[in-house]
Structure 1
Amino acid sequence: MTQPAVLRREPKLVTLEGGEGAGKSTVLAALRAELERDGAVTCTREPGGTPLAERIRELLLDPTHEAPCDRTELLLMFASRAQLVAQVIAPALKRGEWVLSDRFTDASHAYQGGGRGCDPHLIDVLETEFVGIEPGLTLLLDVPVDVGLARMRGRGHADRIESEQVEFFERVRAAYLARAAAHPQRFVVIDASQPPADVAAAAVDALRRHRASIA
């Protein structure tokens, strides 16, 4: 069997990953403030980040739409991601900017791979063919599922994926931790059950170490 091509590592691409209620928004704001001291920063999210990708996000997450089958969900995620890379991420990196993304391809390995049970080889192929890059740093905000879901429910309305059963999110968490163990060169796992200020401080510290390593 032919092995997938090697992904191109982008040192200035930093991604945030984690299950529901992990506190990614707070961390993203802290990282953005840290990087903006030295220049322009592009911040984005998945699924979404461009007008077309945001339309795909609506199709994926709005519970009033027809529920996609597992493979359709996976393909729509990659369609959104390919658009985001082409229109936002690649141009920003070419300009020499840092890019912060709330989720990236690891989310598909966790949610569609671990959660839905989609073929990991298929995900690898889609990643290679339609994304082609991987982050220089991935911060995994890890929180016990019951804690994260309690936080999420406190926010109110849940989208289609947020409405899944506890067992689904346990599989997602396990897949994320497995990804981190398999890719220690770019993953930093942060205990997101801590107070938000402590989580943000740990994330900023990890970013500073990463920047020093590529200087």
Structure 2
Amino acid sequence: MGGKYRITGNRYPRMRKPRRRGRLVFLAVASVAVLGVTGWGTWQLIDVFTGGRKASAAGTDGDCSTKASASPSATSAARALPKPGQITVNVLNATPRSGLAKQTADELKKRGFRIGQVGNATEQFDKKVKGAGLLLGPASSLNTSLPVLATQLAGAESRTDTRKGTDVDLIIGTGFKALTLQAAADQALTALTAPQSSATAPKKGC
């Protein structure tokens, strides 16, 4: 070299590789993502073990109450049925046995019913009612007067016709023995007019 190129001093230049800034940026972003996921998981565990948002504490949000609650509308109103004193009954005998119409009418009167016509059934029904009896009335009586009268004669069939007015007929059939005992009839009438309660089921998905 002939001394033309001489290195002086006690330090030598270092050869460094070029910095890879893209790799550093990637590592920084990845670190932030890992920290974020770790923090979210930790928060979820805390939320689970502390009861979440306490939504199920007492069903206060109305979402998942495990106990059925009574419906106010179902328990507040009884069936609107007429009382025996508001029902006029025609007692008609469709059997060969005499005296049944009057005897039955007298008993119904004692139980509070109003009595209309008492006598034999028309030819249409005479000796043609096989069961205990037939309760007959206008269409409006199907869910009003007839159910009330039916509590007095178990096994009686109920029908409607095209008559006008509100009177109903009790036509005594060949299978008739006696009216339902008054205690049992009163109990059936009480059950018929009592408020019907129902419970609301928990919401789907709870």
TM-score (norm 2): 0.24
Where is the helix percentage greater, Structure 1 or Structure 2? 1
Larger radius of gyration: 2
| Higher RCO (Cα < 8 Å, 6 or more apart) | 1
TM-score (norm 1): 0.24
